[in-house]
Structure 1
Amino acid sequence: MIDLYYAEDDETIAQLVKEYLEQAECQVTVFHMIEDMKQALRKRQPDIILLDWNMPDGQGNDLCRWLRLRWLQLPVIFLTVRGDSCDIVDGFQNGADDYVVKPFELEVLHSRILALLRRAGQRKDACFYCDSLILDTEKKAVFRDNAEIALSQPEYQILLLLMENKGKTVTRRQLLEQVWDSNGSYVNDNTLTVTIKRLREKLRHPACLKTIRSFGYRMEDSL
Structure 2
Amino acid sequence: MKILIVEDDHTIALGLEYSLQQEGYSTITFHNVQESKQFIEANIDEIDLCLFDLSLPDGSGYELCKLVKSLRDIPVIFLTVIDDEVNVVMGLDMGADDYITKPFRIRELISRIKTILRRYSKQSMNHSLKQIAGGNIQISTLEGKVFKKSIEVPLTAMEYRLLLILANHLGQILSRAQLLEQLWDVAGDFVNDNTLTVYIKRLREKLEDDPQNPVVIKTIRGLGYKMER
TM-score relative to the length of structure 2: 0.77
Q: Look up the match of 1:83.
A: 83
* Pairwise CA RMSD: 2.8
CA contact (8 A) 1:7 1:34 kept: no
Q: Look up the match of 1:148.
A: 152
Q: Look up the match of 1:49.
A: 50
Aligned pair in 2 of structure 1 residues 153, 29: CA closer, same or farther (>3 Å)?
A: farther
Structure 1, unpaired ranges of 5+: none
Q: Which residue, out of 204, 212, 215, partners 1:207?
A: 215
Aligned pair in 2 of structure 1 residues 213, 129: CA closer, same or farther (>3 Å)?
A: same
Aligned pair in 2 of structure 1 residues 105, 113: CA closer, same or farther (>3 Å)?
A: same
Give the fraction of aligned pairs with identical amino acids, expressed as a percent. 41
Aligned pair in 2 of structure 1 residues 172, 27: CA closer, same or farther (>3 Å)?
A: farther
- How many pairs does the alignment contain? 217
- 1:86-113 Cα offsets, whole Å, 9 max, x none, are 3332333333332322332222221111
CA contact (8 A) 1:75 1:117 kept: yes
Greater shift in the superposed pair: 189-198 or 201-210: 201-210
- 1:28-67 Cα offsets, whole Å, 9 max, x none, are 12344222112112xx333333333355676544444444
Structure 2, unpaired ranges of 5+: none
Q: Look up the match of 1:27.
A: 26
Q: What is the identity, as a one-letter code, of the residue corresponding to 2:200? A: I
Q: Look up the match of 1:4.
A: 3
Q: What is the identity, as a one-letter code, of the residue corresponding to 1:83? A: D
Q: What is the identity, as a one-letter code, of the residue corresponding to 1:49? A: C
Q: 1:1-223 to 2 correspondence within 5 Å? A: 2-31=1-30, 32-41=35-44, 44-54=45-55, 59-72=60-73, 74-123=74-123, 124=125, 125-130=127-132, 131=134, 132-205=136-209, 207-221=215-229
Greater shift in the superposed pair: 189-198 or 110-119: 189-198
- Counterpart CA distance in 1 for 2:56 and 2:148 is 33
Aligned pair in 2 of structure 1 residues 110, 202: CA closer, same or farther (>3 Å)?
A: same
CA contact (8 A) 1:155 1:199 kept: yes
Greater shift in the superposed pair: 193-202 or 74-83: 74-83
Q: Secondary structure at the match of 1:33?
A: helix
Deviation at 1:22, TM superposition (A): 0.7
Larger radius of gyration: 2
CA contact (8 A) 2:183 2:191 kept: no
- Counterpart CA distance in 1 for 2:222 and 2:88 is 47
Q: Secondary structure at the match of 2:46?
A: coil
- Counterpart CA distance in 2 for 1:100 and 1:17 is 13
Q: Per chain length, whose mean CA-contact separation is higher, i.e. which structure has more relative contact order (CA < 8 Å, sep 6+)?
A: 1
- 1:134-169 Cα offsets, whole Å, 9 max, x none, are 222223222222222222223323333333333333
- Counterpart CA distance in 1 for 2:81 and 2:223 is 45
Aligned pair in 2 of structure 1 residues 127, 85: CA closer, same or farther (>3 Å)?
A: farther
TM-score relative to the length of structure 1: 0.79
CA contact (8 A) 2:40 2:68 kept: no
- Counterpart CA distance in 1 for 2:201 and 2:96 is 38
